[in-house]
Chain A
Amino acid sequence: MSDSALSPEMPSKAAGNLSLLDRLQERWKTIVIIVPFVWLLVFFLAPFFIVTKISLAELAISSPPFTAMIEWADGTIVTIRLVFDNFIYIFEDPLYAKTYINSIKIASVSTVLSLLIGYPIAYGIVRSAQVTKQLLLFAIILPFWTSFLLRVYAWMGLLADQGTINNLLISMGIIETPIRMLYTEFAVYVGIVYTYLPFMILPLYANMEKLDATLNEAAADLGSGPVNTFFKITLPLTMPGVIAGSLLVFIPATGEYVIPDLLGGGNVQMIGRQLYNEFARNVDWPVAAAVAIVLLLILVLPMAIYQYYQGKAAEGS
């Protein structure tokens, strides 16, 4: 950036040598950009290319358990072998298709449930008095800071056959034999909604906080009842928050591994769990990589939409 300041061709400055501090002052902006930039290029972007490469490799009984995509032949000619077998395998095996569809279904339903629960909560916080508002917001964020794993574990205790809920229902005489809840799809829904609810509430809150309360008064003044006002004014104006919150729940939920594993047991097929099994149990890394690439392709559109809305929100502020 400012190499010229140090180059010998420059008419040398009176002091001659620049001190370390001076040099830092000249170059600090470059350093500030370069260090995180290079870190992300190396540890975030490069791994994706490698995953793509491996998804196009063959399984090999070796370490690492895949063949090289680029091989050096005679030291000069580079041959590239692309093997699409892994992708063909994923598309031909109905198990994978079913698992992908099931993941999207579970993520979508969980997103809608989170929205239905999170929207009134966020609106309730916005409508609270100033001090209450801060406390409530804190109460919503606090679970987000505590361990995700332990929050899922807490539900194992609640939903188990001999869990708190069944014990309570039996002792109240409502049921006689325990209802099976743990290791069902229901448990997965509960787990996802529970752990991702703050991700729904916070963007909604941020959006609603900016909403002008006099707009509701204006609508009422023009003859619109509360329900009509909600659908004609409040909901359309909070759509950016709805979209951001929904994507923040949908995207990670689709690839969720811990919740289906702990709460769904072997009974709920989700792609994140499938991927982990492919990698850890079957040690078929090329297929695991291909599963990851397909998952990424499915999520590219929602991620792009999220980025677009974030960009628009940043411009607006």
Chain B
Amino acid sequence: MNQGRSTFLTVMLYIGLTFLYVPMILLVIYSFNYSKLVPVWGGWSTRWYKVLFESPEVWEAVRLSLQIALVNATVATMLGTFAGLAMVRFGRFRGRTLFGGMLVAPLVMPEVITGLSLLVFFISLKELFGWPAERGFTTITIAHITFSLAYVAVIIQARLTGIGETLEEAAADLGAKPFKVMTSITLPRLAPGMLSGWLLAFTLSLDDLVIASFVTGPGANTLPILIFSRIRLGLRPDINALATIIILFVAVLVAIAAYIMFRQHKRELLDQQMALSGGD
């Protein structure tokens, strides 16, 4: 027995990857189908892309979804980074257990529960204070920040644990005050974690259907809400076209992020090698 994969494991890997990717590849292929019936091949065509681009509803939904995703990702990254720092670096403080619990709960909470509770919360707020006057951009953004910040906090906590406290202690030893240590040592080293957190929050927001459906109001349709309302009645070739664009967009985004992180990792390795050979 050696350390490598057995045939069984290799076969399972290939089956698993096929299972994961074939449906999406078919989705993309059928977006170029001329036929109106999605699974019936009628020759190559880009007509459904044209239909898609000519639909003002789609553009409106894309604009709303992107606006929400951008605000959400930025605020959630900030709050999530704060929360991660508080959990990992600040030792004990009053309410830490409750805080930690509230940071993990959104990750595992069924979406229908989160969505329903936020909806009734917003309605109660309106009853009491007259705000938010109508549901849409604001309420969806708030809802998204609430669960996204928990995801960001997980990434930040892992990164903070990973990088350890030695450098921060060294800076403190050299006379830096805690705030200075935070801004000049901790945050720069957290940057890659914050970038992945931002990207995760951004895609989570673009992806969310259930919570947005609960907390949105009449007329405010995010992209997933629009897609869902169309596909509930069956397959639609223009949705295949939309799906293709979204998949490509996300794939490019993730590939860029992966490339940046890979390059940084490689540079770190290279620096280490140079340091080692230079030390000889």
Contact = CB atoms under 8 A, between A and B. Distances in A.
Q: In the complex, is A directly touching B at CB under 8 Å?
A: yes
Interface of A: 24-25, 28-29, 31-33, 35-37, 39-41, 43-48, 50-51, 54, 64, 117-118, 120-121, 123-125, 127-128, 136, 138-140, 142-143, 145-151, 153-158, 160, 162-164, 167, 194, 197, 213, 216-217, 220, 226, 247-248, 251-252, 254-258, 261-262, 272, 275-276, 279, 285, 288-289, 292, 295-296, 299, 303, 306-307, 310, 314, 317
B116 A288 contact: yes
B79 A292 contact: no
Specify the main secondary structure of chain A where it touches its partner. Answer: helix
Given A28-B179, A32-B82, A145-B250, A158 B26 contact: yes
A32 B112 contact: no
B12 A167 contact: no
A306 to B, nearest CB: 6
A128 B5 contact: yes
Contacts of B23: 151, 154-155, 157-158, 194
Interface of B: 1, 3-6, 8-10, 12-13, 16-17, 19-21, 23-24, 26-27, 30, 37-40, 79-80, 82-83, 85-86, 90, 93, 95, 99, 101-106, 108-113, 116-121, 123-124, 127, 142-143, 145-146, 149, 153, 161, 177-179, 182, 203, 206-207, 209-210, 213-214, 224, 227-228, 231-232, 234-235, 239-240, 243, 246-247, 250-251, 253-254, 258
A297 B3 CA distance: 45
Specify the main secondary structure of chain B where it touches its partner. Answer: helix
B227 A149 contact: yes
A158 B29 CA distance: 12
B26 A157 contact: yes
Contacts, number: 248
A153 B111 contact: no
B116 A51 contact: yes
A162 B13 contact: no
Pairs A-B, 10 closest by C-beta atoms: A255-B110, A47-B117, A47-B121, A124-B9, A154-B23, A120-B12, A36-B83, A124-B13, A121-B16, A40-B102
A125 B179 CA distance: 42
A247 B109 CA distance: 11
B120 A153 contact: no
A147 B244 CA distance: 11
Contact of B258 (A51, A138, A255): A138
A33 B93 contact: yes
A121 B108 contact: no
B182 A43 contact: no
Contacts of A149: 207, 209, 224, 227-228, 231
Given A36-B83, A148-B209, A157-B235, 10 more contacts: A32-B82, A32-B86, A54-B120, A124-B10, A125-B13, A151-B24, A157-B27, A255-B112, A257-B112, A257-B210
B178 A292 contact: no
Contact of A40 (B39, B99, B231): B99
A123 B121 contact: no
